[in-house]
Chain A
Amino acid sequence: MNSLWARIEPLLARVQKPARYIGCEDGAATPRHAPGKVSWLLAYPDTYEIGLPNQGLQILYEILNERDDAVAERTYAPWSDLEALMRRHDVPLFSVDTHAAGGDFDLIAFNLSAELVYTNVLNMVDLAGVPVRSAHREPHHPLVVIGGHCAFNPEPLADYVDLVVLGEGEEVIGEITEVVREWKASGRTPGSREGVLRALAQVPGVYCPGLYDVEYDGPALRAVTPRYADVPATVHKRTVADLGEWPYPKHPLAPLTEVVHDRLAVEVFRGCTRGCRFCQAGMITRPVRERPAEQVRTMIANGLRSTGQDEVSLTSLSTADYSNIGQVLQGINPLGCGSSETVSLSLPSLRVDAFTVGLAGQVSGGRRSGLTFAPEAGSWRLRQVINKLITEEDLYGAVESAYSQGWHRMKLYFLTGLPTETDLDTQGIVELARNCVQIGRRHTNRASVTVSLGGFVPKPHTPFQWFGQNSTDELRRKVQLVRDASQRAKGVNVKWHDPAATLAEGIAARGDRRIGAVMERVWRDGGVFQEWSEFFRMSRWNDAMAAEGLSIEWYVNRHRDEHEVLPWDHLSAGLHKDFLWLDWQAALAEHGLEDCRWTPCYDCGVCTGYGIEHVVASPVPPAGGSQGTGQDLARGGEVPVELLAPRRRHVEAVPVDAPVAESVSA
């Protein structure tokens, strides 16, 4: 592959932050292309600053580059200034590693962690000189792949991508590589594209949307069915049974310029069984698989040595839930690289309770920048509906603990537009925040609380997938309710997410194949970087929906009934649809569910269907953190379902037609 560097270099003198396009990071691979190797361009459809820290991409990059038959490079969405120059000077999308042209790769694989990046996917495919619609691609064009959380409803991009990977990617990328290697060896003859897709469709976890027919009944979807007998009617996600077998990234990327999470990230577990009903990540990444504590410590020590970072973030969906977290943390400080400096630790996704704040205080060294909690709803009633079982006592205990340990800025995340939400629930947000400020004022006059308010978008594969999203007007009204109430609450600041962007996200999140043409119109109209407010214009989306004759109300605001065929019904995260429906009914009955790690199974379908189980690193549940479940975890609670899994012991148990594992973790 030829390097485009000589043509890119003069453009970089004219753009903001040119360091985003040079590669050269610590941990970057030295890709060596060869005719017998399958070349992957791993693409993040947002800026380098946001994409570089992405763990899923880093993991797959390393696993692929360790293979003899594959080579992987990375690319990120060029900012608008560089894109304009690239188009003017005919420079295609390029990799940051060897500055090779995107169109020269065998596969371009996008990691999708948010819906509003879909138009960037189209834009990057186009910039690579590849036809945006998969039907127009020739055998010499790369295969366009998507994975990541949004791939669980890929239908809006179905006409634009060649394959979709469901779940975790560690194992499946190797299997895809082998199929593509054969195809390359056969010369990629005319007409062979459909053949390779059919072969890929045999790989568990791989969905090739072009091999399926979609039938509609008026606006309603009737069925999505495979066109060939050998193509699976339902595609199941891949899941790595034991995270301990995948200690990646072994060589984390340390960027040469500032990025959003500029610290060493070590993933301590995958999955979450808190069962928050609005949370797609928690539903589609089940079961819980903890990394062995010793491996966590080794990855931290190696990562610090190889990157020179001085801050470590222990990542997961709820890090304080890692069993025996306290002991793991004790083993870490001071593991620094020998200097007199100590390493600081951060724990994102903090649970809301005093115990967790104690942990945060223990690890953050002297730094007290700010703490963030996510109660998500303003009343206990509504928190039972969404199954975020935090009592007011939990929250106030956490806040008291934080202020008494020197924090004076607190951020509280809330959703509005949740099922059954009344104005009392909405106004309860300010009440909670005001009480938190009052607790803080006992410790410091500077105490302040920022309420961050997001409009709720129902997501596929969650119990709320049937719920009609609040209209933009209704969300605006609720935001205004909170703002008005906060006027009278000293020390409470309110920030909110643009309800129009929430609507656009809603169109993409539960869209079907017909929404693809809407995406394409928004993109052609210049709508890239839609999650950046300076680029977002709702009129583009309204116009595109109207031009396609599609109703926003029908796609976004309408409640679905139990028997409606949903656009993602042929794709499975392992959750039984009737489990989700019963959980939806339980939500409406304001009935919460305990964390199934420490209680009997609710038979959501994932563990039993895939022959995998929760894997925890310690028999001791985390202290504290009842989150109102009534479970007394401090005492030792229930015996966990399964201690660290013996290597691969569950793999044999998997039925032939069910997949074993795969993902692009967020």
Chain B
Amino acid sequence: MKLRIRHSKLGKVRFTSHRDSARHWERAVRKANVPLAYSAGFTPRPRMSFGLALPTGGESLAEYLDMELAPDTEPDLDELSARFSAALPVGYEVTHVVERDHGSPSLQEDVVACSWQLTLHGVSHEQAADAVAIALASPSLMVARERKGQHAVDDVRAAIEDLSLVASHDAVLDDPRPHLCAVLASTGRGLRPTELVATLFPALDPVDVTARVLRTHQWIERDGVRREILPAHPFATRTPARAGWGCA
């Protein structure tokens, strides 16, 4: 049986890397006593594959992975999500464990864009609103990057599919700081959240400005229609408090 899993990654554990997350999962599967299928070959590896990397330091309400169970394993999927959550480090919550369709594309191939909620530090709502307006009005936005040791400049405007500032009265919890919602393409060269902040506020240090990065959605397209890979349950009780308000 092939499974697709959605989970959150919030709090201190956000400082672990994507690679670390893979190891958290490998250990959790063993702790939860879930038999996986193994690859053939001299050093068999458990059949698990992970979605788009979350930047180290970023939090997420929408992380995904796929795994394949050992043959003839028919677990209770709801019970499995609780078992995984218990076996994973504090900060992970498994919200979905579903059977994956045969032949569906891998997560890496399938996801076209992600939604992000970015909490800004040291800029006013007005500054943030101006920066968003300027960026959206620009036909092109250039970002300097290192690529294989070479200096490169890319136009990333097309990767910004949507960008808005959360209205100040719609404050998130008690945090009065400005919050951006961004939908950034993950195909092609893509655009990372901190790169977006760097283009919005070229005079400021993007690490200072980006107080918090939260991935809220990962999008795929089916028959021209965009949808979340596994949509959040409408009445999910275990959705963490800082849910993806406002960002879609």
Contacts and interface: CB of A to CB of B under 8 A. Distances in A.
A14 B207 CA distance: 7
Given A339-B29, A340-B35, 16 more contacts: A18-B57, A19-B15, A19-B17, A22-B15, A24-B12, A24-B13, A25-B89, A256-B13, A256-B16, A257-B16, A258-B23, A339-B33, A339-B35, A340-B70, A341-B36, A366-B43
B181 to A, nearest CB: 21
B174 to A, nearest CB: 14
B56 interface: yes
A339 B31 CA distance: 9
A367 B15 CA distance: 31
A24 B91 contact: yes
Contacts of A257: 16-17, 20
Interface string B5-33: 00000001101110110011011111101
23 contacts: A13-B57, A13-B210, A18-B56, A18-B57, A19-B16, A19-B17, A19-B20, A19-B56, A21-B15, A23-B12, A24-B89, A24-B91, A257-B16, A305-B31, A308-B26, A308-B30, A308-B87, A309-B27, A310-B30, A337-B30, A338-B35, A339-B36, A341-B38
Contacts of A190: none
Contacts of B43: 366-367
B20 A308 contact: no
B46 interface: yes
Interface in B43-93: 43-44, 46, 56-57, 70, 87, 89-91
B31 A307 contact: yes
B34 interface: yes
B42 interface: yes
Contact of A12 (B15, B24, B27, B210): B15
A25 B27 CA distance: 12
B172 interface: no
Given A341-B46, A366-B43, A22 B13 contact: yes
A19 B15 CA distance: 5
Contact of A308 (B28, B70, B210, B211): B28
Chain B CB within 10 Å — which of A256, A258, A310 has the most? A256
Contact of A26 (B34, B35, B89): B89
Contacts, number: 85
Interface in A256-275: 256-258
Interface of B: 12-13, 15-17, 19-20, 23-24, 26-31, 33-36, 38, 42-44, 46, 56-57, 70, 87, 89-91, 207, 210-211
Contacts of A336: 30
Contact of B34 (A12, A306, A339): A339
A13 B56 CA distance: 9
Secondary structure of the A side of the interface?
Answer: loop
Interface of A: 5, 10, 12-14, 18-19, 21-26, 254, 256-258, 304-310, 336-341, 366-367
B14 to A, nearest CB: 9
A304 B43 CA distance: 20
B33 A337 contact: yes
Contacts of B89: 24-26, 256
Closest 10 CB pairs of A and B: A308-B27, A308-B31, A18-B15, A308-B30, A338-B33, A22-B12, A337-B30, A19-B16, A339-B35, A19-B15
Contacts of B42: 366
Contacts of A308: 26-31, 87
A256 B207 contact: no
A12 B56 CA distance: 10
Contacts of A338: 30, 33, 35
A428 to B, nearest CB: 37
Given A24-B91, A256-B89, A366-B43, A339 B16 contact: no
Contacts of B46: 339, 341
Contacts of B27: 26, 254, 307-309
A487 to B, nearest CB: 33
B29 to A, nearest CB: 7
Contacts of B19: 258
A68 B47 CA distance: 45
Contacts of A339: 29-30, 33-36, 46, 70
A258 B20 contact: yes
Nearest to B205: A14
Nearest to A16: B56
Contacts of A12: 15, 57
Given A256-B24, A366-B43, A341 B30 contact: yes
Contacts of B91: 24
A306 B31 contact: yes
Contacts of B24: 256
Nearest to A336: B30
A309 B42 CA distance: 20
Nearest to B87: A308
Contacts of B210: 13
A14 B33 CA distance: 37
Contact of A337 (B20, B23, B31, B90): B31
Contacts of A309: 27, 30
A62 B33 CA distance: 26
Given A18-B15, A26-B89, A308-B28, A256 B20 contact: yes
A121 B52 CA distance: 41
